[in-house]
Amino acid sequence: MTTESPATAASAAVWSPILALPELVELRRRRRAVTTGLGLIAIALFSGFLVGFAYFPEFLGDNTAFGVPLSLWVVFSQFAGTWVLVYAYFRLSRAYIQPAADDAVRAIAQRDQEHVS
């Protein structure tokens, strides 16, 4: 059995209408899309690294590309892939998430002005 304190119930009552604002729903949808997509790519990148070194160590160590063992290319791909994901997140944050965040802030401010007046 869970009981809510009066402060918790009051907070839920205040945030419920705000969470239902279309602008905030859109912001949450965009953030979820970006973080889920990039998160899945990060998991795939790291899983590929683990699978390669767990099941194909001889292949990665014995073969080369441009004179460098494939194992070093796989390790470099982790480093480069991480930076690419970070760059993509910052880029998407500015271009895709931030406009929705600005709209959500304006909608919340407008809602507050309507309820105060």
Give, in order, the Cα–Cα distances in Å from 16 to each of 13, 36, 40, 59, 64.
6, 24, 30, 56, 58
pLDDT tens digits, residue range 23-71?
999 999 999 999 999 999 999 999 999 999 999 989 988 999 999 999 9
What is the helix (H) or strand (E) element at residue 65, kind and residue range? strand 64-65
**Sign of dihedral through CA atoms 5, 11, 14, 19?**
negative
Residue 95 is classified by DSSP as I
At 17, which amino acid appears? P
The CA distance from 44 to 38, in Å, is 10
pLDDT tens digits, residue range 97-112?
999 999 999 998 898 8
Asked if the model's pLDDT at residue 4 lies above 80, the reply is no
> Is-above-0.85 flag for pTM?
no
